[in-house]
């Protein structure tokens, strides 16, 4: 279950019990921090925390401040500055990250169908990236706008009615669509009338999709691991006894597709791993996937000789791989961590999938010369 799924589940439980809660969201990060903008945590008045906004150092102080927000109903933005030792000690955070983190705290109104959690629910299972626009700070004559949100789900959207200022709304929408096109969240100031407002344009990507071609026992730990990380997983195999929902209950779809029917199969965006342990089935799948731009990763389980043979046979059919198509192929699939068991191999495969998705060169963090995370980057889109 992904962090968002856990948050939604906790929200539904609290709503049914009637307990007050607040949502904490990381909106800006400067320097080093444990979480990126968009990280969220649901806080209840009895101290239950779901999700995280740090490695555990901010949660206690955020809980105390969230209780105040629940009482007043007024949103609040908190800035934690771990570059200032005195302020770090004052909050009791003791981050040691040498970074500045902005946290937005909002009371969740269960009667409002457009409260921040319900808007997040609308982004779940989406097939395309969206932009969630939030006014973080607004005072004086525009103070009533603080906390207002709007969700942009269509890249062709022409207008929004957000601030009641047509020219400002047009500029915000333009920037939101630019953020969507660049796959990059933005936090910046806008002048609304005589006042300034700080607005968070958050790009929210769809959950990545993984299609596993093969329904053997070794596919089960890979599916469970991917599901636990919030991925949507599909299983495809030609064997009726193997490809069943009973064997893969967490999968979004389980399809029995015979070798001769692969051309008619529904192919999904994102990532694919060939692990049917049937050379002819893997080859037939590869022939289809290599022509689909929406499949940006193709992993091949097995020794390098198998991958070489598949590519040689592909060339014999008259298909010549371009450099871009070659970069999509990962065979043998997985990172070199000495994996032997099915569970260890699943970890190796999943680690490589994450590295590719985040466009990161895998390796030991202790050998990294620079920050762990690229703060100007969210994650590669699978569309």
CA distance 4 to 1: 8
Q: Are residues 188 and 297 in the same domain?
A: no
Tokens describing residue 47: 């101290």
pLDDT of residue 371: 66
The 10s digit of each residue's pLDDT in 182-191 is 888 999 999 9
DSSP string, 293-334: TTEEEEEE-S-HHHHHHHHHHHHHTT----HHHHHHEESS-S
Q: Domain total for the chain? A: 3
Which residues lie below 8 Å from residue 139, measured CB to CB, with a gap of 6+? 146, 195
Q: Are residues 193 and 244 in the same domain?
A: no
Q: Are residues 340 and 238 in the same domain?
A: yes
pLDDT of residue 81: 83
In a domain? residue 334: yes
pLDDT of residue 159: 87
Mean pLDDT computed over every residue of the chain: 88
Cβ atoms within 10 Å, residue 247: 18
Q: Are residues 196 and 214 in the same domain?
A: no
Q: Are residues 186 and 270 in the same domain?
A: no
Cα 115–76–125 angle (5° rounding)?
35
Q: Are residues 227 and 246 in the same domain?
A: yes
In a domain? residue 243: yes
For residues 340 and 311, is the Cβ–Cβ distance under 8 A? no
pLDDT of residue 381: 38
pLDDT of residue 146: 86
Quick check: pTM over 0.85?
no
Low-confidence ranges of the chain (pLDDT < 70): 1, 32, 83-98, 371-383
DSSP string, 37-68: TT-EEEEETT--EEE-SSSSSSHHHHHHHHHH
Q: At which of 204, 223, 253 does a domain end?
A: 204
Tokens describing residue 138: 């607004």
Calculate what percentage of the chain has a pLDDT beyond 90. 61
Q: At which of 144, 173, 204 does a domain end?
A: 204
Determine the structural domain holding residue 177 and report its residue range: 126-204
Q: Are residues 56 and 179 in the same domain?
A: no
In a domain? residue 112: no
């Amino acid at each position: 279950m992904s962090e968002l799924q856990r948050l939604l589940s906790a929200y539904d439980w609290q709503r049914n019990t009637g307990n007050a809660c607040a949502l904490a969201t990381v909106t800006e990060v400067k320097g080093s921090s444990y979480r990126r903008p968009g990280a969220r945590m649901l806080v209840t008045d009895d101290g239950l925390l779901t999700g995280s906004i740090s490695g555990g150092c901010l949660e206690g102080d955020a809980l105390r401040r969230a209780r105040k927000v629940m009482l007043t109903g007024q949103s609040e933005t908190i800035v934690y500055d771990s570059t200032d030792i005195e302020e770090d000690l004052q909050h009791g955070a003791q981050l040691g990250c040498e970074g500045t983190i902005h946290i937005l705290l909002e009371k969740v109104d269960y009667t409002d169908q457009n409260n921040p959690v319900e808007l997040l629910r609308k982004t779940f299972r989406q097939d395309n990236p969206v932009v969630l626009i939030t006014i973080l700070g607004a005072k004086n004559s525009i103070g009533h706008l603080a906390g207002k949100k709007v969700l942009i789900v269509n890249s062709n959207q022409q207008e929004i009615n957000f601030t009641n200022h047509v020219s400002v709304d047009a500029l915000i929408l333009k920037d939101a669509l630019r953020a969507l096109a660049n796959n990059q969240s933005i936090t910046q100031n806008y002048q609304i009338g005589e006042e300034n407002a700080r607005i968070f344009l958050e790009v929210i990507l769809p959950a990545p999709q993984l299609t596993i071609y093969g329904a053997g026992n070794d596919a089960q730990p890979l599916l469970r691991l991917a599901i636990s990380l919030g991925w949507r997983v599909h299983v495809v195999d030609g064997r009726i006894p193997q490809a069943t929902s009973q064997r893969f209950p967490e999968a979004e779809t389980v399809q029995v597709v015979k070798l001769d029917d692969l051309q008619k199969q529904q192919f999904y965006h994102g990532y694919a791993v060939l692990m049917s342990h049937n050379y002819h089935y893997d080859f037939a799948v590869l022939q289809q996937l290599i022509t689909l731009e929406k499949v940006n990763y193709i992993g091949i389980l097995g020794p390098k000789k198998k991958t070489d043979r598949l590519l040689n046979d592909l060339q014999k059919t008259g298909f010549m791989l371009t450099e871009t198509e070659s970069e999509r192929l990962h065979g043998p699939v997985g990172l070199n961590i000495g994996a032997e068991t099915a569970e260890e191999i699943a970890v190796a495969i999943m680690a490589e999938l994450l590295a590719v998705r985040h466009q990161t060169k895998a390796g030991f963090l202790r050998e990294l010369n620079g920050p762990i995370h690229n703060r100007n980057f969210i994650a590669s889109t699978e569309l």
